Copies of this chain bind each other. A is one copy, B any other.
Amino acid sequence: MMRLKDIATALRAELVGDGELIVHAINHPAAAGPDDLALAMEAEALGALAESPARAAILPASSIVPSRLAGALHVEHPRYALATLTRLFAERPRLPAGIHPTAVIDPTAEIALPTAIGPFVQVGARAYIGPGATILGQVTVGAEARIGADALIYPGVRIGDRVRIGARVILHNNASLGADGFSFAIPEPGGRPPAGEPPISRIASLGTVVLGDDVEVGANSCIDRGTIEATTIGNGTKIDNLVMIGHNNKIGRSCLIAGRVGISGSCRIGDRVILAGGAGVADHVVIGDDPVILAAAQVGSSRIAPGAVVLGMPAVAKEKFFEQVRLQNRLKHLFADVAALKARLQPAGTEADGD
């Protein structure tokens, strides 16, 4: 429940009308009640506003305020406004302060105050949990792991031994940090292992995982530990659900890694890289700053230009990808044209070439 003028301040938005108006929730105009703030920043929602009982709305800059509204806010950047607004109304999952009596905390672990540790949480020897962290139920924190201040860790997250996590990190349900890397010595394809060696010889993972500040890891995602050094994720990088980040990767700051992406191993990925859903990066690939790897693209080499937008398998510049699609769509005609040309140049009575 907030006053319209306080929302205006938080959003740095222009207030029109009654700033004392109290709104209880935010909602699409079609779903909003009279006490809701209607979100009408996009054309479709703006249209729905005419039928809405809402008495307050958020509108694009310089749009006309319907006279039926008691108050309105004008915003310049709808997505950023939505970000601020949703955070104003969001509720952090409720967990009472303190350590739940069912939690199993090693006596050598250090838990800074304030803390909120839920049921069935397990914290290993010499682990450290920073002040203000919230650890919901059924989380595992390994020996000597470190969790930064104000982290929010959802149920079922597994944090391996020695994993280090920055401040304000959010880890979603059942994410895995610090499983062993998928690393084996095997013979060359078709060859045999050296004498005395098994066909598949396991390379153990002595390294760890290090997450910077403000990193977010989605549900059921996995970040494996490095072989000798750490797998690292830079400050502010956000990772969606079901993402696989293999061992030894070094990923930069403020990247966005969408659902089902896979980054094989030993890659170096720059800052502000965007990887869309299902994209894949082969091992040992180096990617610079600012490219956008579009959905399902497969990056097999280190030749992505900084800031490039790529697509396809193998990934190429987006324009080239769609040019190829257009050419392929005309292939049938090209075959027909060539057949016609051949027929025309074919001396009468000779046999056609097979193709």
Contacts and interface: CB of A to CB of B under 8 A. Distances in A.
B182 A155 contact: no
A262 B300 CA distance: 20
A219 interface: yes
B331 A327 contact: yes
A104 to B, nearest CB: 4
A258 interface: yes
Given A83-B184, A140-B136, A333-B355, A196 B228 contact: no
A91 to B, nearest CB: 8
Given A202-B87, A227-B86, A337-B355, A138 B122 contact: yes
B140 A140 contact: no
Contacts of A345: 341, 344-345
B337 A353 contact: yes
Nearest to A136: B140
Interface residues of A, number: 128
**Copies of the chain in the assembly:** 3
B272 A202 contact: no
A182 B259 contact: yes
A12 interface: yes
Interface of A: 12, 25-28, 31, 39, 76-77, 79-80, 82-84, 86-87, 89-91, 93-94, 100, 102, 104, 118-120, 122, 124-125, 136-138, 140, 142-143, 154-156, 158, 160-161, 170, 172-174, 176, 179-180, 182, 184-186, 189-190, 193-194, 196-206, 216, 218-222, 224, 227-229, 236, 238, 240-242, 244, 246, 254, 256, 258-260, 262, 264, 272, 274, 277-278, 280, 282, 290, 292, 295-296, 298, 300, 307, 309, 312-314, 323-325, 327-328, 330-335, 337-338, 341-342, 344-345, 353, 355
